[in-house]
Structure 1
Amino acid sequence: MASSYPTFNLSEKLSVEQVNFFNQHGFIHFKNFINNDTVTSIVQASKEVESAWIDADVKKINGVPIKYGKDLDGKKIVQRFAFINQHHKALSGLLLDPRLSALLPLAGEGSRLGSEEKDGMVFNHYINGPESSFTKMGWHTDGLRDIFYGGKLHPMLNVGIHLTSQKKENGGLRIIPGTHKQSIYQMLFRKKYFLDNNADRSEISVLPEAGDLTIHDGRLWHRVAESSIRGEESRRRVIYIPIIAGKYAPKNENSPTVFYQRFAGIVK
């Protein structure tokens, strides 16, 4: 699986083969979840939210810091939106697709889309330019948050809806398959969280086309590799929505910024 992996089609019920593949490897890739027209409308919606947030000088949404950067022309842009589903109907409507409900059993009984929890629907906009502040993200697992706060380690899956086609040189998601089954010790100490962005001999590149959907277990070791291409060809947009199990914990405008997000500057 170092260089390639099978892809699937998503319907309103997962097949046994799909469930088994995900359980073994901790990720799965579905083709053609949305069409090109929908991709275009979602990107346009993000630009409308971006314009409103820049005009209002929004710093946080529900306690989550918003990451700003510069486009290739030096214009200010939002590079990481949090809870964007709460700010545009085109994005909240995307969550109503019944095929997303088919993914919930992968996280176990009582799982749900985290549209009001964690960081909600996150919209990432990567661009490798001279003034970009968001080009890569070092190795990490999402399970660290539960461990840090002394809570039970619940499954948290990341559903990615990809709005840009990419090749390996575009950077993007790298995962180490099977590490969702690792010990707590390995989850804590296998990598230097966020600081280590070096390639791992066991990693694979997730290479979607625009409109594809991927899902990976947050307990996997994963990173976002920097594009080796600069300029317009490096532009990449992707939405992430969490699937959560455990106690319902919605956020609102009065929610505090959690500890680890105070150090967001280490994430480039």
Structure 2
Amino acid sequence: MSQHSPLDKAFVQLGVTTRNGHDESMHYGAVVGLARDGSIEFALGDPSTIVYPRSSTKPIQATAMVASGLDLPPRLLALVCASHDGSPMHLAAAREILLSAGLTEDDLGNTKDYPLNDDAAAEVLRGGGVKTKLQMNCSGKHSGMLATCVHNSWSHDETYLHESHPLQQRITQMVPELSGEDAAFIGIDGCGAPAHAMSLTALARVFRTVVMSDPTSAPGKVAHAMRSHPEMVGGPRRDVTLLMQGVPGLLGKDGAEGVFAIAMPDGRAVSL
């Protein structure tokens, strides 16, 4: 944290790592938990702290896509919400989304990367492979964005990532619909897409809204897809996948810089 960062006062010590009985590192942050009725039940640090939830906002983006006409089977919609690990099943699913819209990997506007999955990355490297757009963990989201653009006859060149593009405007409008708050500001995520900043409380409300939505609604379809196919949201060894597999009904999504948000169908939600 910088010397003048507002996070200096907003964050508190959440944990300490010890080794042989001695403190090795301390971890700072903020946590907020919502009760069944949506009120704040507990908080550590300042829950009004504005943060970039990063990939934890993918359910917002996916909801805007579905509301704009994207119609995918749950398995593929789950990948649109994913920070996938680049396993073969993830790459095949991203290709399937692109193919359904008459597109290819070349149309993706996200950055290139190796798979997050160690085994998949090792196989790529052994074969002399390089970083690609499809392997990047956000390629499912970008495939969904492009398919949504094609469905609506919106431009699907590099401008689909511009904040002024109709798709990105729909996503920005979806933030207050799901969270009750406008985005505090908008930056650029690591994949190249707009990144919406919001309070930790707003992020928890997003997940509460999505998980409690009618299954036939856009957010309800997103919740169903993620919970039905948690292996597509992360990967077989990823915390977010294991958590949804291990806790019936739970909806969760991780994001960069230690962000995590979860919610239960009864309305309880936590973001950190």
Rg (Cα) greater in structure? 2
Higher strand share: 1
Higher helix share: 2
